[in-house]
Chain A
């Protein structure tokens, strides 16, 4: 059983919790990846609501598949279909859904702390599917699973997280989780993308990818989102690619056994060059596969924890 009732952030998870999630995910591997019947009845009759208050395709589909493979009954609400956009308060939305007897909420939100607010308005279990710039713990778990599958362990690994750290919930949950498991994390970004206080993560922060790339076991490239260039923190896609993009030339300088991860969706040609995304070091599709396994594990362990 996990030490937490909800999965809101990775900072509340102990090393035991994380190991349990990864081990349980591993036991789903032969079911999902080795059988024709890719589901088990573990959560038969349980009701899960995927409340996606921010558009997301891959995370939502990953959760939906995980739910189906655990035999849970699930519905997905969000964006255009959610009453939240019509001005109803979050508390009202949650209480309304809760009145229909729900066992678990999976929440994706534009605003930090939304999953936490939801826990205050329901007895159901809440899984954070990404909240604002705060945390994305299920992403962190699939990343850890992917990295552990390659190296067999996490402690002592050197991991660089590269990109728009200031706006990244992926960094916000991955960096602390890696630290908890004994990995050494370096944050790499232009000064305008750096986190306000890296000491909170216990990490070093640098603006020179080229200085650290040869030491790293894992290069984790973040997606850079640029809707508008006016007032943006970097001048252009081209310049970002030149300074911080993972090119073949940089890839060639990586350690022999080092791997490349990316949470997706990728901007090929910006943070990662197309050839690098498809190279032998790339674990990007493994991450997607691990997403279903680890989300199954999280839901299974949290649901099993209730009396």
Chain B
């Protein structure tokens, strides 16, 4: 199939593009990018006027719950949510059941995602067997089956010694270790950020220190092992300072942030105990969120991820202290970034493309996607003026536990090409 995307504002900092172009796609590839291309016979034209065309968006931190928790999400339903949100690639976390800790589990996800055919699923493997933090998972086997990175996401690796072993072992492969930083001796029973909100609502705190102490530890381990370290869902100003300092030293350290840690804070949790605001790590102080916004703009944070964490209604429709952690995010991430940062003039389109497409692709060790001839045609077309109301009906995801329900957002993906195939057509998943 051939498509001609006409008249879109193309943004790709990798090739220095920031202007109106026509882009011709044939089969899986971009074949021509020019000021004006005539549509040949049999080429389907996609009108890009008034829209932005960018390299396909990547979310390198999602939970598709497949296998094991298919009642929350499946690879198929998660793929629909990803396409609906404008993504061409996602990296799925290994806390499935069984835990994704062997090559066979990696292969299952890749094969299942291919059948769904809506998004490139780049599974991450567990660092330790069963994510128990006790013994190494078959990391090499998983690399050979296509694992994109390694993480025990959901918990920190509690023992510094074990984490050192993991990072040293991973360092022989060109893969990043994604660290969920949480010292459980400090966060035990914690369900909300320590501080005023915890006092107000009468619940045990999950202190910033519980995260920061492991960020510090893992940076030092990166120094010793030389392993590339990526800090997952960073949530505190101080944690970010440590990452900045490590980068300044030239250590192979990167980090990511979620829209909920950027745009929400613990003071948003009111006495209705809205469990969709219960996260791990928890929503922090407003001043932390402000520091993170600064970090994603100035480049000290490398990418935006959603930590898309689907949970069934009965797992959220209960008392806060026993509700599950997490919010879905794939379908609100881009609109939140545009509404809160791009439309307000705080972030350029170039920077948006870096944090939502270029950097995560690099961290997952995928081939770059550039808007130039010869590149794979993974493309996202964005209407910066289209508005959405975030309601349960809006979501393709099987679960509806969004922290952003009720918000009115501007700027959404309308069309997505994944390897030259249309997966989202005028806002509707193909």
Q: Do chains A and B touch in the complex (CB under 8 A)?
A: yes
Task: Say yes or no: A116-B272 contact (C-beta < 8 A), given A90-B319, A196-B205.
Answer: yes
- Specify the chain B residue showing the minimal Cβ separation from A92: B314
Chain B's nearest CB lies how many Å from the CB of A57? Answer: 22
Task: Say yes or no: A134-B203 contact (C-beta < 8 A), given A113-B273, A196-B196, A197-B196.
Answer: yes
- Mostly helix, strand, loop or mixed at chain A's interface? loop
Which of B195, B201, B322 meets A134, CB within 8 Å? Answer: B201
* B residues near A195, Cβ cutoff 8 Å: 199
- Specify the chain A residue showing the minimal Cβ separation from B191: A112
B389 within 8 A of A: no
**Cβ contacts B319-347/A at 8 Å (1 or 0 each):** 11110000000000000000000000000
Q: Is A132's CB under 8 angstroms from B203's CB?
A: yes
Task: Say yes or no: A197-B199 contact (C-beta < 8 A), given A113-B273, A116-B272, A116-B273.
Answer: yes
Q: Please report the total number of A residues contacting B with Cβ < 8 Å.
A: 29
**Cβ contacts B168-206/A at 8 Å (1 or 0 each):** 000000000000000000000000001110111111110
Task: Say yes or no: A111-B196 contact (C-beta < 8 A), given A116-B272, A133-B202.
Answer: no
Chain B's nearest CB lies how many Å from the CB of A108? Answer: 13
Centre residue among A116, A117, A196 by max chain B CB count within 10 A: A196
Which of A8, A89, A200 meets B271, CB within 8 Å? Answer: A8
* A residues near B319, Cβ cutoff 8 Å: 90, 109, 111-114, 117
Q: Is B321's CB under 8 angstroms from A197's CB?
A: no
Which of A89, A169, A199 meets B202, CB within 8 Å? Answer: A169
**Cβ contacts A113-144/B at 8 Å (1 or 0 each):** 11011001000000000011111000000000
* B residues near A196, Cβ cutoff 8 Å: 194-196, 198-199, 205
Q: Is B203's CB under 8 angstroms from A112's CB?
A: yes
Q: Is B201's CB under 8 angstroms from A113's CB?
A: yes
Centre residue among B202, B314, B318, B319 by max chain A CB count within 10 A: B202
- Docked CA distance A206–B199 (Å): 17
Centre residue among A8, A11, A111, A195 by max chain B CB count within 10 A: A111
- Specify the chain A residue showing the minimal Cβ separation from B271: A116
A172 within 8 A of B: yes
Q: Please report the total number of B residues contacting A with Cβ < 8 Å.
A: 21
Q: Is B273's CB under 8 angstroms from A172's CB?
A: no
* A residues near B268, Cβ cutoff 8 Å: none
- Docked CA distance A112–B318 (Å): 11
Q: Which of A158-198 contact B (CB under 8 A)?
A: 169, 172, 195-198
Q: Is A112's CB under 8 angstroms from B321's CB?
A: yes
A248 within 8 A of B: no
* A residues near B194, Cβ cutoff 8 Å: 196
Chain A's nearest CB lies how many Å from the CB of B356? Answer: 35
B97 within 8 A of A: no
- Docked CA distance A11–B317 (Å): 25
Q: Is B271's CB under 8 angstroms from A9's CB?
A: yes
Chain A's nearest CB lies how many Å from the CB of B318? Answer: 6
Q: Is B199's CB under 8 angstroms from A200's CB?
A: yes
Chain A's nearest CB lies how many Å from the CB of B324? Answer: 13
- Specify the chain A residue showing the minimal Cβ separation from B185: A231
A252 within 8 A of B: no
* A residues near B195, Cβ cutoff 8 Å: 196-197
- Docked CA distance A197–B202 (Å): 11
Chain A's nearest CB lies how many Å from the CB of B323? Answer: 10
* A residues near B273, Cβ cutoff 8 Å: 112-113, 116-117
- Specify the chain B residue showing the minimal Cβ separation from A201: B199
- Specify the chain B residue showing the minimal Cβ separation from A133: B202
Task: Say yes or no: A111-B321 contact (C-beta < 8 A), given A8-B271, A196-B194, A196-B198.
Answer: yes
Q: Is A200's CB under 8 angstroms from B318's CB?
A: no
* A residues near B321, Cβ cutoff 8 Å: 111-113, 132
A42 within 8 A of B: no
A15 within 8 A of B: no
Q: Is A89's CB under 8 angstroms from B318's CB?
A: yes
Q: Is A91's CB under 8 angstroms from B318's CB?
A: yes
**Cβ contacts A192-228/B at 8 Å (1 or 0 each):** 0001111111000000000000000000000000000
Q: Is A112's CB under 8 angstroms from B199's CB?
A: no
Chain A's nearest CB lies how many Å from the CB of B269? Answer: 10
10 A-B pairs (CB sep. < 8 Å): A12-B271, A89-B318, A91-B317, A111-B319, A111-B321, A112-B320, A114-B319, A131-B202, A132-B202, A200-B199
Q: Which residues of B contact A (CB under 8 A)?
A: 194-196, 198-205, 271-273, 314, 317-322
* Contacts A8-B271, A111-B322 known; 19 new A-B pairs at CB < 8 A: A12-B271, A109-B319, A112-B201, A113-B271, A113-B320, A113-B321, A120-B272, A132-B321, A133-B203, A134-B201, A134-B202, A172-B199, A195-B199, A196-B196, A196-B199, A197-B196, A197-B199, A200-B199, A201-B199
